[in-house]
Amino acid sequence: MIYLGRGAAEKAPLIKEHIAKHDIKRVFILGHPFHRIDIDDAEFIEYNELIEYRTFYRLLQEIDQRTLVVLNECLRNQNRYDLTFNCIRHFLRQTTHHLIFQYLPIIEQPSDFMTLFDWDTQSRWKPVQLADAPLHEATVDCRRIDLELRPVAITTDDRTKTAYQVEKRRLIDNIGLRDPHTIPRNLYLLSGKAKLAWAQSANGSLFDESRWFVGRNDRFKLPTMQTYRAGTYDHTPYTVFELPHNFLEFIDFLALSGQTAMDVLVADLKVDAWYWQRYQEWRNRLAEIYAQIS
């Protein structure tokens, strides 16, 4: 069973229900530490440990038909044949009892869903691509997450615009064999001071503890800022100071905060427009996979 769009508080009752219904004797919960679920007599194993020999072989020995394997937000990269994913496939072959919790069905592309599909179907269609996959073979409980991103226009001064052009030229001239996305990652930070001024302006946000922000880092020491690596978000709703380059970081934030509608600060630099468009296209791809699995 694949559960999509479930919040943290909803997962434990579903796990306990399955345990009681099927007389389960052993429970392993596999997941990222951000998404830890603590249930009596269940063992939580961190995602990064799954490929370690001592963990992998122990689980192969201990998982049997009276074992429930819970995958909690384990879609952590886009490589369907990733080593950790293949370890999970081996675990799932040991039992017919599994629950897969994933807040969103993809990371970046609709094809990402095929990893979840493989886990739920014992990887019987592992060579098949999304376009040809018998999606009806998976059992999916889909709660659609519709995101509302509202742009807040930020004006930068002439000095920032000049610095932007200089830095853009420098990054392009020195990119070499490095990842081309290094360029937008670095340019995006240049609008930070203008966004900070907005955050501190009485005309902008009535700067106080009533408005919290989420951003890439805490370089400005803003007292109401949390990063995408915070792990907990207790001050919703948040305003997006800057979008993360890695969609997975944004997905973790959405899953942990439960927030689906948010203001996003968008400066008048081309890189800000690029990030804004990138996330609009991502939302469209998310809608596409929802339409396919509904």
> Model confidence over 191-227: pLDDT tens digits?
999 999 999 874 444 445 678 999 999 999 999 999 9
**SS3 of 186, please?**
helix
Same domain, 173 and 215: yes
Q: What is the mean pLDDT of the chain?
A: 94
Same domain, 130 and 157: no
> Given this model, what pLDDT does residue 205 score?
47
Residues 225, 229, 201, CA angle at the centre, nearest 5°? 15
Same domain, 179 and 279: yes
Same domain, 235 and 118: no
Q: Domain containing 88 — which CATH number?
A: 3.40.50.10810
Q: Please check the confidence at residue 117 and state whether its pLDDT lies above 50.
A: yes
Confidence class for position 46, pLDDT limits 50, 70, 90: very high
CB 242, CB 215: distance < 8 Å: yes
Confidence class for position 177, pLDDT limits 50, 70, 90: confident
Same domain, 23 and 138: yes
Confidence class for position 284, pLDDT limits 50, 70, 90: very high
Of the chain, the percentage scoring pLDDT greater than 70 comes to 97
Same domain, 120 and 69: yes
Residue 69 to residue 43: CA distance in whole angstroms: 10
Specify which residues 72 forms β-bridges with. Answer: 31, 101
Over range 121-149, report the average pLDDT.
Answer: 95
Name the pTM for this structure: 0.94
Last residue of a domain, one of 121, 142, 163: 142
Residue 150 CB neighbours (<10 A): 11
Q: How far is CA 2 from the centre of its chain?
A: 16
Same domain, 25 and 122: yes
Quote the domain boundaries for residue 179: 148-293
Q: How far is CA 187 from the centre of its chain?
A: 23
The total number of structural domains that make up the chain: 2
Last residue of a domain, one of 114, 142, 170: 142
Question: Which of 95, 122, 121 minimizes the C-alpha distance to 26?
Answer: 95
Residues 186, 35, 48, CA angle at the centre, nearest 5°? 75
